[in-house]
Amino acid sequence: MNQRLILILLLAIAAAVPLSLLAGRVWIDPLAPETRNASVILMQLRLPRAVLALVLGAGLGASGAAMQGFLRNPLADPGLFGIAPGAALGAVLSFWTGYAASTYLLPVFALVGAGGAMALLALIAGREGGVALFTLAGLMISSLAGALMSLAISLSPTPFAMSEIVTWLMGTLADRSWREVWIATPFTLAGIGVLIAAGRSLDALTLGEAAARSLGVDPRRLQALMIAGIGLTVGAGVAVAGIIGFVGLVVPHLVRPLTDRRPSSLIVPSALAGALLLLIADCLCRILPLAGGELRLGIALSLLGAPFFLHLLLKMRRGLA
């Protein structure tokens, strides 16, 4: 069942990539390739953007699936661990200090922020490996990073820096180049690899923590894998594109009924579906006419994701009633 799903998703991606390359402010007609600068637009603007959408979408999809498996909760989102806010805080500080102006420093700051959040998480959650403490630690880091971000914004040295920060936080793939692709791809792929390695332990966790331990799962190792996997995928994503929410929440939901529902069989299909969703969403953002530029990807996904989340909650409430 899983192989067929993976194949279908791969085919869908193979079909969507060429289409997404043609769409945008300048439409490129493959049958009439005399569009001015067509090859520059394709190779330098749209292709890196498409690849980045696929890479980040895959990272968000896989980390969402792993996160829901780890917390045994369909409402969990990779943002819960506080790693995304940590990375965002790093990026905000690079704007605040003015280092963001130099090419590689913004992503480096964000990755350091993500790393800091991961280290703090590991330190607070400690050796016990309990999921509840872990989640609370993540929430604490999230709110701390959020507060520090607000502080940085309110103390912005210049109005320009403030507007840069606010715009950046909205999350977008506009104006990204191959440089961002090279930064994000190795981290994201490594992160997805780590999450796949955690798959069997996440399966065991389906039966609860005690049963998982009795099946030979080492909670400390699983916790370390989760911190590394989520940290790498989410940290790399925030470093190059800002905060893009809801993919990690929505995608595993859409994919789960098509699998045997074990967390391990959800990770790869979620990665592929996340890639596809982000590619399509980014393409739509590019096409939709909006005064003063294009719709921000992060905003578009939140606008789509919030009603979906509400629908989920209502469905769960009906289930409980």
Residue numbers at the binding site for other proteins (CB under 8 A) = 72-73, 200, 203-208, 210-211, 213-218, 256, 260-263
Minimum CB–partner distance for residue 290 and other proteins (Å):
40
Minimum CB–partner distance for residue 267 and other proteins (Å):
13
Alpha helices in 155-243 (DSSP H): 159-169, 178-197, 199-205, 209-214, 219-241
Q: Which is nearer to other proteins, 39 or 73 (CB)?
A: 73
Q: Which is nearer to other proteins, 216 or 292 (CB)?
A: 216
Supply the angle between the helices 178-197 and 47-71 in degrees, to the nearest 10: 20
DSSP string spanning 74-119? Answer: TT--GGGGSHHHHHHHHHHHHHHHTGGGSTTHHHHHHHHHHHHHHH
Q: Which is nearer to other proteins, 167 or 206 (CB)?
A: 206
Minimum CB–partner distance for residue 63 and other proteins (Å):
18
Minimum CB–partner distance for residue 219 and other proteins (Å):
10
Minimum CB–partner distance for residue 1 and other proteins (Å):
11
CA–CA gap between residue 60 and residue 251 (Å, rounded): 9
CA–CA gap between residue 192 and residue 44 (Å, rounded): 26
CA–CA gap between residue 8 and residue 269 (Å, rounded): 10
Q: Which is nearer to other proteins, 24 or 130 (CB)?
A: 130
Q: Which is nearer to other proteins, 89 or 266 (CB)?
A: 266
